[in-house]
Amino acid sequence: MSVAVQSWSPSWPPAIPKPGALPGFGITFGFTLTYLSLIVLIPLAVLVWRASGLGLDGIWRVATTPRVLAALETSFVISAAAALVNALFGMIVAWVLTRYSFPGRQPIDAAVDLPFALPTAVAGIALAALYAPNGWIGALFEPWGIKIAFTPLGIFIALVFIGLPFVVRTVQPVLQDLDREIEEASATLGATRRQTFFRVVLPALLPALLTGIALAFARAVGEYGSVIFIAGNMPFKSEIAPLLIVARLEEYDYAGASAIATVMLVISFAALLAINLLQAVSRRRMGDA
Amino acid sequence: MLGPSGSGKTTLLRLVAGLETPTSGRILFGGEDATHRPVRERRVGFVFQHYALFKHLSVAENIAYGLRVRPRATRPPDKEIRRRVAKLLELVQLSGLGRRAPAQLSGGQRQRVALARALAVEPRVLLLDEPFGALDAQVRRDLRRWLRELHDRTGHTTLFVTHDQEEALELADRVAILNKGRIEQIGTPDDVLDRPATAFVAGFVGEAVRLPVELAPHALRIGGQAIALDHGLPSGAAALFVRPTDLTLAEPFGDNRLTATVVSVRRRGPARRIELAIADRLPTVEIELAIGRTVHQGQAVHLRLLTPRLFAS
């Protein structure tokens, strides 16, 4: 599942834009609506319609069974944690790639995109092999009694892996365009480097960072391929919601599958909407809106 | 500090601020060695050409920034910060705009916010890097006058970098002329205009044209014409710098006249600018002519040299 993230205009009522240098608001807006309907809204509507065979209380009954609740919690909590970790480390990677020039910068920059390009199942198999108790990295943790593969920790690692490029690629261009003079101004005014970062640089990066977090989170919630190989898929422990949906489909329980999917849809939409609103607020504070 | 692009004005200013590190030499603040002090301890007020305001903070918070980042022990209480911000807003004539975002202000207003922000930390020296460079001519003139008044009122030692001579000569008590990373002359505006120390200063200040001339004892030869002149320089090749006010039209009779041909006549401000060719291979020179007199393109005229600015080459 991939989710389009757009920024929400805080102004209300929305004004119909005046003709600009390029005409065609009517045509492009019409196209956008039709396209979004065909590609996004109609499939989602069918999903809801499928689930609605159960009725609202039917959906509720499916969604509140302990196993489904556990899977939803696993999916959303671990996705959120992975997105936050990616926010921190993605920003550090973006920082290093834009602020310093060093031999091998180009290949490293290109490597950031690999999680995009790799089939997720390949990533899952590779990660599972690495983090299994007898794998290279898993073996290091085994003596401490820490199991990574086939536990929620493994899911977390897979989700961090696939989410990294989103934060790096959204923060990088903003960081590149960031005026170095505002950092110098901050220093001449007596700020320490720490203060300069937290009071001047981070607020400027915040809208882009939130976009990156939203994308990484959305991707993580929908991720299936890489997770099932490393998760172990034990109900109540390391079973993600998408896996449960596939399981229901294999039992020909289409309504049940749709019900779980609908619940995921609602939660995802609410989370992304919340992030978008946060973003609108931080943009407005930047004076861009 | 005045000089052409790439002469090192900004680099010198950034060295003073501590934004660059010198490879040699020392930076003294009132006799105290500040060479190895980090930027934030130098207490300089730096104003950038493109304002460098913090976009996510309001105008008032931009001004308060330098006070808010102080360590708790020396940070004034919130109420005191607000009082000082209000006072600074008044000083830069932006009272009532404290809650605006920088993006909602005009260029001239933004630069005044940047100035107020720099003044808030009570700097020992105010460093201005082409502060009016991004503004249009009218706003520049107004701000220039306003800055001069502000300076007279507050008495901050101010280093002002510009490539605009008019700005430098009008604002400064002392002007440093820079060229290729070196200071050519430091002096009052009168010094650099009337007593240029080097050929570069003579050529750079005051729209001067450089003419190659030949010196003989008590005489000056220029493009095949000779006039008598007590120049006191050794004979040989030299450079004559001619500003529009150094030459004047003269009657044809009398000694020491140069002849020239009118290349073009243009209106400039309250007078006309006449472009003249003294000889074919020489650069053309310009003189000012009052509106009452007329000359025509192609006409031959006679000139008298009022102020000879000569440098042996």
Q: For residue A169, which of A86, A85, A280 has the smallest C-alpha distance?
A: A86
Query: Which superfamily is assigned to A55-285 in CATH?
Result: MetI-like (1.10.3720.10)
How many CB contacts within 8 angstroms connect chain A with chain B?
Answer: 79
Q: Which CATH class is domain B209-312?
A: mainly beta
Q: Among the listed ranges A21-25, A101-105, A118-122, which one has the minimum average pLDDT value?
A: A21-25
Residue A185 to residue B52, Cβ atoms within 8 A: yes
Pick B19 or A58 by higher pLDDT.
B19
Q: Among the listed ranges A30-44, A271-285, B200-214, B257-271, which one has the minimum average pLDDT value?
A: A271-285
Cα separation values, B264 from A21, A104, B282, B286, Å: 42, 60, 16, 10
pLDDT value of residue A82: 94
Q: Where in chain B is the domain with CATH 2.40.50.140?
A: 209-312
Judging contacts by C-beta atoms under 8 Å, the chain A residues touching residue B104 are 287
- Residue B70 has its nearest CB partner, among A185, A190, A287, at A190
Looking at residue B86, its amino acid is A
Spatial separation of the C-alpha atoms in residues B287 and B188, rounded to whole Å: 25
pLDDT band, residue A187 (cuts 50/70/90): very high
Which parts of chain B fold into alpha helices (H)? Answer: 9-17, 39-42, 59-68, 78-91, 107-120, 137-154, 165-171, 189-194, 199-204
- Chain B residue nearest residue A190, CA to CA: B40
C-beta of residue A241 within 8 angstroms of C-beta of residue A260: yes
Percent of chain A with pLDDT over 70: 91
Give me the CATH code for the B9-194 domain, please.
Answer: 3.40.50.300
Contacts of residues B142-150 at CB distance under 8 Å and 24 or more positions apart, as own/partner, are B142/B108, B143/B108, B143/B111, B143/B112, B144/B170, B144/B171, B146/B93, B147/B115, B147/B171, B150/B91, B150/B92, B150/B115
pLDDT in single tens digits along all 313 residues of chain B: 999 988 999 999 999 999 999 999 999 988 889 888 999 889 999 999 999 999 889 999 999 999 999 999 999 999 999 999 999 999 888 998 999 999 999 998 999 999 999 999 989 999 999 998 888 888 888 888 888 988 888 888 999 999 889 899 989 999 999 999 999 999 999 999 989 999 999 989 888 899 999 988 888 889 888 888 888 888 889 999 999 888 888 887 777 788 899 999 998 888 889 999 988 888 999 998 888 888 888 889 999 888 888 888 7
Q: For residue B162, which of B125, B196, B133 has the smallest C-alpha distance?
A: B133
Q: Which residues of B touch A (CB under 8 A)?
A: 17-19, 39-46, 48, 50, 52-56, 65-66, 69-70, 101-104, 114, 117-118, 120-121
What interface predicted TM-score (ipTM) does this complex get?
Answer: 0.82
Residue A1 pLDDT > 60: no
Cα separation values, B298 from A96, B177, B238, Å: 66, 38, 29
Interface test with A, best of B44, B47, B54 (most A CBs within 10 A): B54
Residue B212: left (phi > 0), alpha (psi -120 to 50), or beta? beta
